[in-house]
Amino acid sequence: MQHRLSRHLATVAFVAGFAALLAGCGGGSVSPVVPKSQTSPAQSVRPVIHPMIKISRASIPSVMAKLLKAGAYASPIKGHKPVRLHVNTVSAGMDLTYNGGPYLTGASVYNILVNCNDESCWGGLIGQFESDFFSSNMINILSQYIGTTAQGAFSDGGDYPVQYNTSQTLGDQDIDNIVYQVITQNNLPTGYNAIYNVFLGQGVQECSQAAGGCYLQQYCAYHGSNDYSDIGHVLYTVEPYQDVQGCQVSNLPSPNGSLVDSTSSTLSHETSETITDPDVAVNNIAWYNQQGGEIGDLCAPAVGVPTGNVTLGADTYEIQMEYDNNIHDCSFSP
């Protein structure tokens, strides 16, 4: 199924200094919420949920001592634009151009659930959506960028609940610490065949110097990559609570409730960008448009493209589209 929408993309601008942004951020804690209008998808996926592990902020110094390189690229909140990066290639209109950086041809995707024993804090369907998305025709939009069939090349690697102190604003060092501890304590893979999604609950504030701001002030979510001296290259996304003004889906009521579909829409955005442009923030850019950003940015509600309903497998979600160079527009299918 293919949808085309016209959209208005303005010149992007860099967000001012992190210090001023951090001053405006506050703390918070997790409060599980289940959408009132949620319906059960036709298919049932029960994600593998591993035992919760406790991670202390006291381990931050030792983790940061191993961090060699880090960067992140944000999905802006509605009304903001992506940071504009310098690239040598010139895009044709809004089409993505290849800049020589790496991309993923297959990976396992691991979900890190902060202060929640299961996916209920985000509506309970994260693994279900990933299974539907990875097996759908929609993900084949990415095939043109990664040089192989994307459908079936990516899979849900399970859920990893963690206990972490979120009573104050989280920063890059907290995310780096959480991801590192989950990988090392569970002997999980790194490199370009693994993606780690860090889900933060309702009320948790996070500010990222690497991503250029704070949740709900500059961005809804972001993806990044880190190099550690012992475990190597790590790809991750940060997925704060999305059922909020500026990040939630456009049309309500949505098929699964606003919480599930808003979470799914942003997750598809960040996952697609991690696959097609994993190292964008460390100046190793792959697929990018110098006017409008990455594959998800070009079709995001932040730039005026509304979300819409799409059937993935037997289930229907309201999510954003992804950019398709073959039709020079946003689409739900190649």
For residue 68, pLDDT beyond 90: yes
Of 256, 240, 245, the residue nearest 309 (C-alpha): 256
For residue 24, pLDDT beyond 90: no
According to the model, what pLDDT value does residue 23 have? 38
Contact between residue 302 and residue 221 where contact means Cβ atoms under 8 Å apart: no
The whole-number average pLDDT for the span 74-84 is 87
Mapping DSSP onto H, E and C, the string for 101-157 reads CCCCCCEEEEEEEECCCCHHHHCCCHHHHHHHHHCCCHHHHHHHHHCCCCCCCEEEE
Contacts of 309 (CB under 8 A, 6+ apart): 251, 254, 255, 316, 317, 318
According to the model, what pLDDT value does residue 41 have? 54
For residue 17, pLDDT beyond 60: no
For residue 1, pLDDT beyond 70: no
The whole-number average pLDDT for the span 114-122 is 98
Q: What is the pLDDT of residues 25-66, one digit of tens each?
A: 334 433 333 333 344 455 566 789 999 999 999 999 999 999
The whole-number average pLDDT for the span 270-289 is 96
- Lowest-pLDDT choice from 31-40, 76-85, 316-325: 31-40
Mean pLDDT of the chain: 88
Q: What's CA 76's distance to the chain center, in Å?
A: 11
% of the chain with per-residue pLDDT over 70: 87
- Neighbour-count burial of 65, counting CB atoms closer than 10 A to its CB (0-12 exposed, 13-18 middle, 19+ buried): exposed
According to the model, what pLDDT value does residue 43 have? 56
**Helix, coil or strand: residue 224:** strand
- Lowest-pLDDT choice from 7-21, 152-166, 216-230, 314-328: 7-21
- Lowest-pLDDT choice from 24-28, 39-43, 82-86, 280-284: 24-28
Q: What is the pLDDT of residues 232-277, one digit of tens each?
A: 999 999 999 999 999 999 999 999 999 999 999 999 999 999 999 9
For residue 147, which phi and psi values (nearest 5 degrees)? 75, 15
Of 171, 128, 154, 105, the residue nearest 42 (C-alpha): 128
Lookup: tokens for 38 = 């949620």
Any idea what DSSP says for residue 281?
G
Of 307, 313, 314, 311, the residue nearest 322 (C-alpha): 307
According to the model, what pLDDT value does residue 82 have? 83
Of 320, 332, 325, the residue nearest 288 (C-alpha): 325
For residue 79, pLDDT beyond 90: no
For residue 195, which phi and psi values (nearest 5 degrees)? -130, 135
For residue 19, pLDDT beyond 50: no
Q: How many CB atoms lie within 10 A of CB 314?
A: 9
Local confidence band at 230 (pLDDT 50, 70, 90 cut-offs): very high
Local confidence band at 200 (pLDDT 50, 70, 90 cut-offs): very high
In the chain, domain spans:
42-331
According to the model, what pLDDT value does residue 281 have? 87
The whole-number average pLDDT for the span 211-215 is 96
For residue 138, pLDDT beyond 70: yes
Please provide the DSSP assignment of 23-91 as one string: HT-----------TT----SS-----BPPPEE--GGGHHHHHTTEEEEEEEEEEPTT--PPPPP-SS--
Any idea what DSSP says for residue 10?
P
Local confidence band at 123 (pLDDT 50, 70, 90 cut-offs): very high
Of 28, 63, 272, 29, the residue nearest 179 (C-alpha): 63
The whole-number average pLDDT for the span 71-96 is 86
For residue 130, pLDDT beyond 60: yes
For residue 2, pLDDT beyond 70: no
For residue 267, which phi and psi values (nearest 5 degrees)? -65, -40
